Structure 1
Amino acid sequence: MGTQESLDAKVGTGTRVRDPWVTVVWNDPVNLMSYVTRVFEEYFRLPRHEAEARMREVHERGRSVLSAGSREQMEVDVQAMHGYGLWATLERGGE
């Protein structure tokens, strides 16, 4: 077992420290699908077809991961989604 593997086994979360954080947008009964699509296009700069696919994922599966990166970056994205009136949270990637 290598040094990193030993550290990971002892700590149990060694590899998770390097995991990115993600912004999750959740389904809600308030916002129109066209509005959610437009927000994804404008804020995340997604092409229309990708924004529509993510909106459908939110609508059909209840959630979609829209961005990944540092915790600070994802906090900014979550706050931006709240500013648009969308329900969003951040969580560790891979959870």
Structure 2
Amino acid sequence: MTMLSPDVDERTSVRADVPWTTVVWDDPVNLMSYVTYVFESYFGFPRAKAERLMHQVDSDGRAVVATGHREEMERHVEAMHGYGLQATVDRAPAA
């Protein structure tokens, strides 16, 4: 049986990398229908959710489309760039 040191907070060590977000930004180039298509095809979102997020990008200038570990969010950002969308990784706000 292993004993943890009393000064180790497991919650901190386990959650140190979580959460991060993938943010998609509005741009003057891509059509709204294309952004919806990307959200549906890449993330597998149902049409209603893809359209809601697309409208959020259009009206607010940005939308958080995924939350998780930094490496996964970086992969999403690279994929969005591959589709021609502007996207960044950002640390999620504290809960």
Does the pair score TM above 0.5? yes
Give 1:17 deviation, angstroms.
2.7
- Provide the C-alpha distance between the structure 1 equivalents of 2:69 and 2:17, rounded to a whole number of angstroms: 10
SS at match of 1:31: coil
Q: Any runs of at least 4 consecutive aligned residues in structure 1 with deviations exceeding 3 A, and if so which?
A: none
Tell me the TM-score normalized by structure 2. 0.81
Are 1:19 and 1:94, in contact at CA under 8 Å, matched by a contact in 2?
no
Give 1:69 deviation, angstroms.
0.6
- Provide the C-alpha distance between the structure 2 equivalents of 1:58 and 1:92, rounded to a whole number of angstroms: 18
Give 1:18 deviation, angstroms.
5.2
Please, which runs of 5 or more residues in structure 2 have no aligned partner? 1-6
Please, which runs of 5 or more residues in structure 1 have no aligned partner? 5-13
Give 1:19 deviation, angstroms.
3.6
- Provide the C-alpha distance between the structure 1 equivalents of 2:17 and 2:84, rounded to a whole number of angstroms: 31
Tell me the TM-score normalized by structure 1. 0.81
The correspondence of residues 60-75 of structure 1 with structure 2, limited to 5 A, is: 60-75=59-74
Aligned-residue CA RMSD (Å): 2.0
Where does residue 91 of structure 2 map in the other structure? 92
- Please give the per-residue CA displacement for 1:25-79, whole angstroms capped at 9, x wherever unaligned: 0000000000000000000100000000000000000000000110100000000
The correspondence of residues 8-23 of structure 1 with structure 2, limited to 5 A, is: 17=16, 19-23=18-22
Where does residue 24 of structure 1 map in the other structure? 23
Asked if residue 52 in structure 1 is aligned to residue 81 in structure 2, the reply is no
Tell me the number of residue pairs that the alignment of Structure 1 and Structure 2 aligns. 85
Paired residue type of 2:53: R
Hey, which of these two has a bigger chunk of helix by percent? Answer: 1
